[in-house]
Amino acid sequence: MKSSFRIRAVAFVASAAVLALTACSAGSSTSGGGSGSSPGGDQKLSIGLVAEPASLDFTTTDGAAIPQALLGNVYETLVKQDDSGKIVPSLAKSWTVSPDRKTYTFDLVDNAKFTNGKQFTANDAVFSINRVKTAWTISLKAAMDVVASSKALSPTQLQVTLAKPSNDWLFRMTTRIGAMFSESGVSALATDPVGTGPFKFSKWNRGDSIVMVRNDDYWGSKPFFQQITLKYFKDATALNNALLTSTINVIGTVQAPEALSQFTSNDKYQVIEGTTNGEVLLSFNNSRPVFKDLRTRQAIRMAIDHKALLDTCWAGRGKLIGSMVPPTDPWYEDLTGVAPFDLAKAKSLLQASGAAGKTLRLRLPTLPYATSCGQVVKSMLEQAGLKVQIDQLEFPAAWLTTVFKNADYDMSIIAHVEPRDLGAVFNAKYYTRYDDPTLQGYLAAADSGDEAAQVDNMKKAARRLSEQAAGDWLFLLPNLIVADKNIKGLPTNAITENFDLSKLAR
Amino acid sequence: MKRLNPSLVVGGVIVGVIVLMALISFVWTPYDATLVTPASRLLEPSWSHWFGTDKFGRDVLSQIMVGSRTTLFVGVVAVGVAAVIGVPLGILAAMVRRWPSEAIMRANDLLLAFPALLLAIMFGAVFGASTLTAMIAIGIASVPSFARVIRSGALQVMRTEYVLAARAAGRRPLPIAVRHVLPNVTSLITVQASVSFAIAVLAEAALSFLGYGTPPPTPSWGRMLQESQEFLFSAPRLAIFPGIAIAIAVLGFNLLGDGLRDRFDPKLEDRR
Amino acid sequence: MILRLIERTGVFLVSLAVSSVLVFAFMAVLPGDPARVALGVNASDQAVAELRQQFGLDRPLPTQYFDWLGGLLHGDLGTSYVSKVAIGPQVFDRLQVTLWLVVAGMIIALVVAVPAGTLMAARHRKLSGLALSAVSQVGVAVPAFLAGILLIVVFAVKLGWLPANGWTPPAQDPGMFLKQLILPALALGLVQGAVLTRYVRSAVLDVLREDYLRTARAKGLRPFQALWRHGLRNAAVPVVTVLGLQLATLLIGAVVVERVFVIPGLGSLLLDGVSNRDLLLVQDVVMVLVLAVLLVNFIVDLLYVALDPRLRTAS
């Protein structure tokens, strides 16, 4: 059965490839029964993911699940990141930056169309950028505050003026706040998203799956699959079982790394392992007296044997990092040597700071990696002479209120998955309560300087955090994907907010 | 002559073993049940680790032993809550006049509309997930069955001649309840307690599975089962030991309940 | 009889009213602000306050309560704080899924329990009866989710006979619907069946001890004939009561099985609602569950009267 399926799949690719040529030259036809407009014909794919979106509207609802499904697939941005993290054209063919680094001029593609039939123009871009300030409610919209004005110079030319130079702004335009909306397509964002992307939103079976179909009018190269279903599983084991029984073809994010062995030992499947932006942070509440002492913070970092921890609680999958920077960022440096595991030194530091014997509350969100690694952290810190009391807080609601909003905690464990989030996480207003003018100085210099200055200052910032032991970076979450052997185009590193469906093929 | 009742014996032995295990675990376990030792993770069962070790390198046998404390704690709290509220309610409903009695039983029925799992999830959301909150919720949800059973038993007692005599002699209701009714429904209470105990143990397992049960690192059979899920194929023993422990404990308490019921009164089958 | 009917209906309605107050009050004390969860962690207090106002959370509690109740009476369950979608259709969809599951589970439970329980009672002194009792005891002791996991491992992953999880509406693909229904319904039904078996056994045992059955047997009827002609109707009374209670607990108890088999039922809607602090949704789901339980109890009450001739005359 398996082999016959393969042969059929190959035949599809061969015949459809010829048709794709005609489709490209003629401009694409309307749906036309599904086959013929793309190399994949009417092939379908099903991907298993873990967190179902609460809504489809990422302008008013926070959470990683919505952009994961929609960004790049349904909505597109002016610029996007390629696999190596470089900013490359998308809806903007090219762009120029003025010498004072405050004015950006984008040349837009002229053949992009929204799925409601409207042409994409510079006016839509202006509308979308302005709308972030006026209609968006999620906190991430703050990245657009730096924009002073935006205007359409022509239907295909957009000019954006910033209040001050900002390297970060262009990068943020690759994330969800850079999504381009149609002026007449924002009436029902929560249920009916309208974008220019390679896929059209088709159906949402709440509690189960989101179905997308190929946008046959897409302006760029058309995706392979005619239909892709994103199926959501709350339980990691159920997700694995679904792949084992061919209910799905891909596990988008493996949540039970220990169970990987059943796939690695089976040649029906491929396992992809790369990096993400998800720094698993053992966060300290830096406003608590006990954490005011640098020696205590350093001692905690030294008391943790990170290699053993990773092996124990996440099956050794992931990468050890010594600061808040993933290896795919341009300013990454290996800082794992700043506070190496040294139990004896940790003990003496704790004695010196007077923290030995004190009880710290480790308030964990109910997430698999936090529950698992929290128990290892507790055991390791207790061997260094601290007492650790674990509380579990229901994620998201209870954890967000208690730890995030009220900062009523000593330590917690959470993966910060937003890209380039060093500055956002370590400041006095955030739950880390980390007040450090030196760090802020580096960050400001990085944002306003040229590219070399940015890299240089971000490196300094990352090292500063590590040396000051503002938190402890347990490890970087791996990008773990398991899929049927014949699926191509899966990303090695998951460094963007979206799961790119357009490159997938069979 | 009273024949030895097999349910009672088997149930009693199982419950006895669990209690003994819990008591021993206070003074001795083979290893520290919560100590994480990465070097000895996922060991197969051997002479040094009879049941092997889990992914944290913790000894499974030690965890099962300490986990029996959680199981007993779960049962005692849930049954305690249910009995402390349900028994007086049942006796009261049997002793007062028709209208108040009807009102009590109706309120009781209303509580039935909030099943244990629902209450536990809601309590967990309000007070934070912990063994205690979950068990209080399960206890409250078990009140109605206690009240019903006790009421029907108490009604029978109220019709006995000595109670009628006591009432005729002008005894006040409270002394009657304490001196005559309560002692005569203790057998019912024991039976119901045993059955509710089993239900509470099952409920804790289900809640732990959903993430509303005993938080780590306190060893609990339910959570061990939940943590073992990702090893179903590579190390199924991690699921088997706590799974069997739960099943045996529930079996023990159910058998004990059955046995007690048969012993006290063969005709008093549970009708609810 | 009619008086009794009116009384029961009255009790049912009052119970509903009281539980609606209880449910609402409970939600009001639930910590965790739905507006903050919706807006994300960095949202300003002002933005949160605006959203609270938009949700109507800043109004006095009694106003909120009567608004909600009024909506319910008109069949309007409101709009979710989080997904901004009408709640009514969602609850209705999920309820259907759960009902399929629970009803299928109940049928399996009955199919197992009635013959097994009767047999156990009829042979309660023989080895076969005792063996069956032992099996049912073990069945009662297995948590439903453990049964589910075992079923998946054996029948889906190892043997590949049935899908491990998922749900397809019957209208979309009846074949797939049945395939996906079998394992979860078994997980639910076998465990419930074991519980029910014990009630059937004791009910039948009770009936067997009754005088009229002894008379029937004295007249030369074989035990099963006697039971069939005279006993089952009487044995049905306590069994129906238990069935009603079980149906009620199953509606919420199915949540665990729904989790194991990834079924989008009412229970998972409730769990999602709780973790997203989608308060109105939680409130509605709990109210629907409570309504279902009260309704089942009400029907059982009525069945009682219909089934048992003695109860009928007694009132």
**What is the CATH number for A444?**
3.10.105.10
Higher pLDDT, residue C202 or B87: B87
Q: How many CB pairs under 8 A join B and C?
A: 114
Higher pLDDT, residue A14 or A186: A186
- Predicted confidence at residue B269, as pLDDT, reads 41
> Chain B residue with minimal CA distance to C201?
B269
Question: Touching check for B195 and chain C: CB below 8 Å?
Answer: no
CA distance A129 to chain C (A): 19
A394–C275 CB contact, under 8 Å: yes
Pick among A50, A239, A373, A379 to test the B interface (most B CBs inside 10 A): A379
A244–C164 CB contact, under 8 Å: yes
Per-residue tokens: A213: 């179909």
Mean pLDDT over each residue of chain C, to the nearest integer: 80
Chain A residues whose C-beta is within 8 A of a chain B C-beta are 235-237, 240, 256-259, 261-262, 305, 308-309, 311-313, 315, 366, 371-372, 374-376, 378-380, 390-394, 397-398
- Predicted confidence at residue A11, as pLDDT, reads 33
pLDDT band at A309 (very low <50, low <70, confident <90, very high): very high
Chain B residues near residue C149 by CB distance under 8 angstroms: 229, 232, 239
3-state secondary structure of A482: strand
Per-residue tokens: A445: 């210099």
Q: What is the 3-state secondary structure (H, E, C) of A61-89?
A: CCCCHHHHHHECCCECECEEECCCCCEEE
Q: How many CB pairs under 8 A join A and B?
A: 76
CA distance B236 to chain A (A): 11
C262–A233 CB contact, under 8 Å: yes
Compute how many other C-beta atoms are within 10 angstroms of the C-beta atom of residue B17. 14
pLDDT band at A456 (very low <50, low <70, confident <90, very high): very high
Of A62, A137, A245, the CB nearest to C160: A245
> Chain A residue with minimal CA distance to B54?
A312
Measured CA to CA, the distance from residue A329 to residue A325 in angstroms comes to: 7
A444: in domain: yes
Measured CA to CA, the distance from residue C96 to residue A265 in angstroms comes to: 40
Edge-to-edge strand order for the sheet containing A387-393? Answer: A199-205, A209-214, A227-232, A44-49, A250-251, A471-484, A269-284, A411-416, A359-365, A387-393
Compute how many other C-beta atoms are within 10 angstroms of the C-beta atom of residue A250. 24
A168: in domain: no
Q: What is the mean pLDDT of residues C74-101?
A: 85
Based on the structure, what is the number of domains in chain A? 1
Backbone angles phi, psi at A179, to 5 degrees: -65, 140
Beta bridge partners of A229: A46, A211
- Predicted confidence at residue A268, as pLDDT, reads 92
Which chains touch B (3+ CB pairs under 8 A)? A, C
For residue A58, is pLDDT > 60? yes
Chain A residues near residue B35 by CB distance under 8 angstroms: 379
- Predicted confidence at residue A8, as pLDDT, reads 34
Q: Which amino acid is at A293?
A: D
Give the H or E element holding residue C143: none
Pick among A269, A361, A376 to test the B interface (most B CBs inside 10 A): A376
C141–B247 CB contact, under 8 Å: yes
A206–C278 CB contact, under 8 Å: no
> Chain B residue with minimal CA distance to C259?
B210
B112–C253 CB contact, under 8 Å: no
Which chains touch C (3+ CB pairs under 8 A)? A, B
Compute how many other C-beta atoms are within 10 angstroms of the C-beta atom of residue A134. 7
- List helix spans (H) across A26-166: 65-70, 122-134
Higher pLDDT, residue C241 or C159: C159
Please state, in angstroms and as integers, the Cα–Cα distance from residue B199 to each residue in A255, B120, B233, C138, following that order: 31, 13, 29, 14
Q: How many CB pairs under 8 A join A and C?
A: 127
A101 closest CA partner among A473, A396, A451? A451
A67: in domain: no
Question: Touching check for B239 and chain A: CB below 8 Å?
Answer: no
What pLDDT, in 10s, does the model give residues A240-294?
889 988 889 999 988 888 888 889 888 999 999 999 999 999 999 999 999 999 9
Backbone angles phi, psi at A149, to 5 degrees: -160, 160
For residue A20, is pLDDT > 60? no
CA distance B54 to chain C (A): 19
A371: in domain: yes
Lowest mean pLDDT among A353-362, A363-372, A392-401, A494-503: A392-401
- Predicted confidence at residue C307, as pLDDT, reads 66
- Predicted confidence at residue A324, as pLDDT, reads 94
Lowest mean pLDDT among B160-164, B192-196, C36-40, C281-285: C36-40
Please state, in angstroms and as integers, the Cα–Cα distance from residue B142 to each residue in B146, B212, C232, following that order: 7, 18, 29
User: B98 exposed, middle or buried (CB, 10 Å; 0-12, 13-18, 19+)?
Assistant: exposed
A160 closest CA partner among A111, A108, A113? A108
Cα angle value C64/C69/C75 (rounded, 5°): 130
Question: Touching check for B179 and chain C: CB below 8 Å?
Answer: no
> Chain A residue with minimal CA distance to C87?
A206
Higher pLDDT, residue A195 or B154: A195
Measured CA to CA, the distance from residue A377 to residue A382 in angstroms comes to: 8
> Chain C residue with minimal CA distance to A241?
C164
Per-residue tokens: A73: 């697939």
B128–A393 CB contact, under 8 Å: yes
C84–A55 CB contact, under 8 Å: yes
Pairing of strands A87-89, A209-214: unpaired
> Greatest CA span in chain C, whole angstroms?
85
Higher pLDDT, residue C236 or A443: A443
A33: left (phi over 0), alpha (psi -120 to 50) or beta: left
Question: Touching check for A157 and chain C: CB below 8 Å?
Answer: no
Give the H or E element holding residue C306: helix C279-307
Whether the Cβ atoms of residue A216 and residue A27 lie closer than 8 Å to each other: no
Of C149, C205, C252, the CB nearest to B115: C252
Question: Touching check for A60 and chain C: CB below 8 Å?
Answer: yes
Lowest mean pLDDT among C142-146, C282-286, C302-306: C302-306
CA distance C171 to chain B (A): 30
> Chain B residue with minimal CA distance to C266?
B118
Chain A residues near residue C29 by CB distance under 8 angstroms: none
Whether the Cβ atoms of residue A425 and residue A464 lie closer than 8 Å to each other: no
Of B229, B232, B255, the CB nearest to C137: B255
Mark which residues 225-254 of C lie under 8 Å from B by CB.
Answer: 238, 241-242, 245, 248-249, 251-253
Chain C residues near residue B249 by CB distance under 8 angstroms: 141
Q: What is the mean pLDDT of residues C31-59?
A: 72
A305: in domain: yes
Question: Touching check for B128 and chain A: CB below 8 Å?
Answer: yes
- Predicted confidence at residue A126, as pLDDT, reads 95
Pairing of strands A44-49, A250-251: parallel
Contacts of B228 (CB under 8 A, 6+ apart): B54, B235, B238, B239, B242
A26: in domain: no
Lowest mean pLDDT among B222-236, C100-114, C241-255: C241-255
Higher pLDDT, residue A333 or B110: A333
For residue A7, is pLDDT > 50? no
Pairing of strands A387-393, A103-108: unpaired
CA distance C64 to chain B (A): 20
Backbone angles phi, psi at A242, to 5 degrees: -65, -40
Chain C residues near residue A54 by CB distance under 8 angstroms: 38, 82-83, 272, 276, 278
**Check: CATH 3.40.50.1000 for C87-313?**
no
For residue A88, is pLDDT > 60? yes
pLDDT band at A332 (very low <50, low <70, confident <90, very high): very high
Of C47, C165, C271, the CB nearest to A241: C165
What pLDDT, in 10s, does the model give residues C295-310?
887 887 777 767 665 5
For residue A36, is pLDDT > 50? no
Of B38, B217, B230, the CB nearest to A311: B38
Of A258, A312, A378, the CB nearest to B234: A258
A195: in domain: no
Contacts of C306 (CB under 8 A, 6+ apart): C312
C153–B232 CB contact, under 8 Å: yes
Question: What tens-digit pLDDT sequence spans chain B (272 residues)?
Answer: 455 678 888 889 999 999 999 999 888 888 888 888 888 888 888 888 888 898 888 899 999 999 999 889 888 999 999 999 999 888 888 888 778 888 888 888 788 778 788 888 878 777 766 778 888 888 998 898 888 888 888 888 888 888 888 888 888 888 888 888 888 888 888 888 888 888 888 888 888 888 777 887 888 888 888 888 888 888 888 888 999 999 999 999 988 888 887 777 644 443 33
Q: Which amino acid is at A25?
A: S
Question: Touching check for B225 and chain A: CB below 8 Å?
Answer: no
What pLDDT, in 10s, does the model give residues A463-483?
999 999 999 999 999 999 999
Measured CA to CA, the distance from residue A139 to residue A183 in angstroms comes to: 22
- List helix spans (H) across A179-250: 236-244
> Chain C residue with minimal CA distance to A188?
C84
What pLDDT, in 10s, does the model give residues C176-196?
888 888 899 999 888 888 888
Of A138, A142, A241, the CB nearest to C157: A241
Backbone angles phi, psi at A159, to 5 degrees: -120, 130
A91 closest CA partner among A141, A156, A151, A140? A156
Domains in chain B (CATH in brackets) are 6-15+50-267 (1.10.3720.10)
C90–A206 CB contact, under 8 Å: yes
